[in-house]
Chain A
Amino acid sequence: MAILPGIATLSIGYDAESAVAMSRPPSRFEQIVGDTEAFRLMLDGALRDAGSPCLVWLPDAGQFLSGREYHAALGAFFGLVFGHPEGERRYRAQAAAITERLEDSGADSLVFACEVTGLKMVAVPVRVAETLAAVLFCCAMRPTDPDDDRRFRDAVRGLEEAFGLAAGQLHQYAAHLPDDADPGVERAVARARRVIAALTRLCADRLALQQAQQQDRWRLKAIGALQVANQHLNDLSISWDAFWRATARLLEDLAPIIGAVCGLVLVPGRGTRRDMHIATAVCGLPSEQFTGRLYRLDDALLGVIARAEHFHILHTPNDDLAQGPVRRSIIEQAPEVGARLGREVLIPMFFEDQRNGLVVFFLSNDPAPDSDVLVIDSSTGDSILAQSGSLIGAAFNNRQFVQRRHQQHKFKRAWLETVTHQFVAPLSAVQGHAELLTNRLARWENKNPKLFANWPERHIEQFWNSLTAIERTAQYASRLAYNFSRVVYQDKELGGDLELTVADDLTGELIQIARDFQGSARENRILKVEVDTPSVAPLNGRVAIITSDDLFRQAIGNLVDNAVKYSFENTAIILRGRLEKDWGVIEVINEGIRLAPGEETRIFEYEYRTPEARATYAPGTGIGLSVARDIIVQHGGTLTARPSVPVRKLGDRQSWLTTFTIRLPLIDSDGS
């Protein structure tokens, strides 16, 4: 036993409030114990029998824990002195020195004494797993020697004066100290050791409990991550991008839980030599174990590796992975992560008992000894990782299935397009021939009235009717075929991936559409097709459109085409925009024939044309607006029309203002 001599001032205590006020980080002991107040209560039982006032000091935080019964007296006593800044500084210095000596010397106890008060304290280390977790101080108070006792009382009075306390106030606290305290240091040490035994056991139990709770928390977190991923299983099928993003997110969630540096998904490749090399050398497993399928590394996931932060080690079935190309690839592309790569955990991806891929977690080569991670064993963590493998395997299988279906649909669509083209071109030719014949015969008949002299009158009439019918029918049929191809586009089942893209330049998009129709507008003597750009500008970046297959352009184009056909001469077609609550609104406005009340919903019916539209003889099939509406619905929006309102007289005709309104859902500024 060592004694620290010459401590000239009273030892000064420390309270929890000041620790909080210092905003210190949690100590190692607190990290282990978690709820220090609960721990203190558990200590009460152990300290109650100690016979002397006891304090437990956590060396890495300077925080005291003490037996409940003595806490009030000692806490108040030390608290009086604590208000003295110099006293606090000196006491902290002493406590740090004691801890350092206990750590360095490996001594099982130290005794130090305060010359002023005669107070003697025994410092005993509390070690948990060979780590100095706490220091137990047992006080040997109130010396029985009369001289010492007198000196003690004098010192207390001196302190009272120094701190401006009333006479006897400090002594009153000292009086709370147990009268039967063993004055002998050796006795105090013996008692301290009894407490140590209980305290060490409590620490160990608490540590085990804490670790078990931590395991439970990780397991719950892992299950939570799996549940989230499971909820988005269908979303994973939308595109390969979505699949990789979602699986990467799952791996990111799981990596810190099991203490992995990073995770990768290896999926079936196309059977190339490189894939074969990776299957055998990288995975370290014969390809036949994966039912003959091969695997490739998806480089996109290296981004995930670079962002990974957590590290630890579990187990590996095969050390050959150490020199594999996957590892080399990681080291080349993400050197910082590569430097930490340890061993691997391989998790098969399953779908209906078929392996269809492999999840690889790379573990750290420098695991922290006291890291709190989910320990993977056959009874706990393996089941979570197995679930991950099954989940990713199912998502991967889904994605492959959807891709195959999309490919089939794309093939069908390409075939339908070809067929459509093959119809449109000859029908257009038939129409042209009929129109040519009509024009020429009409001219010749004008020049030569006897051209049809020998024909019966009704045959002549029928002849002209037939020519006109051929021309119009061919035109109708070719337009129908053309629109049919448009209908094919807007069928999502056939159309494949119809992903929405934020329209950062909606204004430009609308201007381009308007420009496309300037020619046909001029033919109909319409003054202009114009975009009201200031009104559209607020919508830029706030709505999403389907750019694939020009679907959005087609929808707006159909509306403009409709406007061009039914506008009067010398009018304008305007595309306008505005924000309306949660919607971005685009309006197509024209001045021309009337859209009567009651017709505003019927015009979106397939092949419906209003009587007014039919009366214009403008070519139309009644499909364009229906297609436009369906496309806008696929944007998550609506397309509506309002009955026309009268504007003015143009010649002998009344002109009407007609407005078609598209509402697209607004996107938040964060893109959601």
Chain B
Amino acid sequence: MTQPTARKRILMVDDQLDYIQPYAEALEDEDFDVTLISQVDSALEMLREGGFDVIILDMLMPPSEGVHEDFEDLDLRKSGGWVLSQIREDERLRDVPIIFITAVRDTRVREWVEQTERAYTGRDPVILTKPVTLTQLIKIVRRVSE
């Protein structure tokens, strides 16, 4: 059995790891335990194993093969919105805070994410639009992980 740790565990999912590296490092500096991953499927596996306190998701990611047929819309298939629904479907993960980071304000994806999060949790999703400073991200991670 895993012993509970004082450090909050964060899973960051982004297909461009170079881009989120500084955020991860900054969070590490603030004593968060950060795991970086670029593959959606692997990220879901890790999440289901449990133990993460916060999830940081890129809103636009390449589709995971063979698992998105239920999404007719190509843009939605590419979105972190699909990952969100997979996470929220799992009751154990329903209350884990998710922070979305995006560089473009894609209306449909954003609306889809908002509707999904509200449907499962009754809350509005946390969506950050780039550029996001390290300080801003740290503040928000602290807030949602409390």
12 residue pairs from A and B, CB less than 8 Å apart: A420-B103, A424-B104, A425-B130, A426-B19, A429-B16, A429-B21, A432-B22, A432-B26, A435-B133, A436-B22, A475-B131, A619-B131
Q: Which of A476-518 contact B (CB under 8 A)?
A: 478-479, 482, 485, 515
Across the interface, do B103 and A428 meet the contact criterion of CB distance under 8 Å?
A: yes
Contact of B140 among A424, A431, A435, A519 (CB under 8 A): A519
Across the interface, do A425 and B107 meet the contact criterion of CB distance under 8 Å?
A: no
Shortest beta-carbon distance, B32 to chain A, in Å?
14
Across the interface, do A435 and B22 meet the contact criterion of CB distance under 8 Å?
A: yes
Across the interface, do B130 and A478 meet the contact criterion of CB distance under 8 Å?
A: yes
Across the interface, do A550 and B107 meet the contact criterion of CB distance under 8 Å?
A: yes
Question: Is there a chain A Cβ closer than 8 Å to B132's Cβ?
Answer: yes
- The chain B residue with its CB closest to the CB of A523 is B139
Q: Which of B105-146 contact A (CB under 8 A)?
A: 105, 107, 124, 126, 129-136, 139-140, 143
Known: A433-B22, A519-B140. A439 touches B130 (CB 8 A): no
Across the interface, do A475 and B22 meet the contact criterion of CB distance under 8 Å?
A: no
Considering the chains assembled together, what is the distance between the CA atoms of A440 and B133 in angstroms? 15
Question: Is there a chain A Cβ closer than 8 Å to B41's Cβ?
Answer: no
Question: Is there a chain A Cβ closer than 8 Å to B31's Cβ?
Answer: no
Known: A424-B104, A429-B19. A478 touches B131 (CB 8 A): yes
Question: Is there a chain B Cβ closer than 8 Å to A156's Cβ?
Answer: no
Across the interface, do B105 and A550 meet the contact criterion of CB distance under 8 Å?
A: yes
Which B residues lie within 8 Å of A196 (CB)?
A: none
Considering the chains assembled together, what is the distance between the CA atoms of A105 and B103 in angstroms? 94
Contact of B107 among A421, A522, A549, A619 (CB under 8 A): A549
Considering the chains assembled together, what is the distance between the CA atoms of A497 and B129 in angstroms? 26
Considering the chains assembled together, what is the distance between the CA atoms of A427 and B130 in angstroms? 9
Question: Is there a chain B Cβ closer than 8 Å to A599's Cβ?
Answer: no
Q: Interface size class for chain B?
A: 20 to 34
Q: Which of B25-51 contact A (CB under 8 A)?
A: 25-26, 29
Considering the chains assembled together, what is the distance between the CA atoms of A619 and B133 in angstroms? 10
Shortest beta-carbon distance, B60 to chain A, in Å?
8
Shortest beta-carbon distance, A647 to chain B, in Å?
28
Which A residues lie within 8 Å of B136 (CB)?
A: 523
Interface on chain B toward A: helix, strand, loop, or mixed SS? helix
Residues of chain A having any CB pair with chain B under 8 Å: 417, 420-421, 424-429, 431-433, 435-436, 439-440, 443, 474-475, 478-479, 482, 485, 515, 519, 522-523, 549-550, 619
Which B residues lie within 8 Å of A479 (CB)?
A: 131
Known: A425-B16, A429-B18. A515 touches B129 (CB 8 A): no
Most chain B C-beta atoms within 10 Å of own C-beta, residue among A433, A440, A474, A479 = A433
Considering the chains assembled together, what is the distance between the CA atoms of A549 and B108 in angstroms? 9
Which B residues lie within 8 Å of A435 (CB)?
A: 22, 26, 133-135
Across the interface, do B130 and A482 meet the contact criterion of CB distance under 8 Å?
A: yes
Which A residues lie within 8 Å of B130 (CB)?
A: 424-425, 428, 478, 482
Across the interface, do A482 and B129 meet the contact criterion of CB distance under 8 Å?
A: yes
Across the interface, do A515 and B124 meet the contact criterion of CB distance under 8 Å?
A: yes
Known: A426-B19, A435-B22, A523-B139. A421 touches B134 (CB 8 A): no
Question: Is there a chain A Cβ closer than 8 Å to B23's Cβ?
Answer: yes
Which B residues lie within 8 Å of A523 (CB)?
A: 136, 139-140
Across the interface, do A431 and B133 meet the contact criterion of CB distance under 8 Å?
A: yes
Considering the chains assembled together, what is the distance between the CA atoms of A479 and B130 in angstroms? 8
Known: A482-B103, A482-B130, A523-B139. A429 touches B22 (CB 8 A): yes
Shortest beta-carbon distance, B142 to chain A, in Å?
11
- The chain B residue with its CB closest to the CB of A515 is B124
Known: A425-B19, A482-B103. A436 touches B133 (CB 8 A): no
Contact of A436 among B124, B126, B134 (CB under 8 A): B134
Considering the chains assembled together, what is the distance between the CA atoms of A519 and B105 in angstroms? 17
Which A residues lie within 8 Å of B107 (CB)?
A: 549-550
Considering the chains assembled together, what is the distance between the CA atoms of A479 and B26 in angstroms? 21
Considering the chains assembled together, what is the distance between the CA atoms of A439 and B60 in angstroms? 29
Considering the chains assembled together, what is the distance between the CA atoms of A522 and B117 in angstroms? 21
Considering the chains assembled together, what is the distance between the CA atoms of A398 and B21 in angstroms? 52
Across the interface, do A424 and B133 meet the contact criterion of CB distance under 8 Å?
A: no
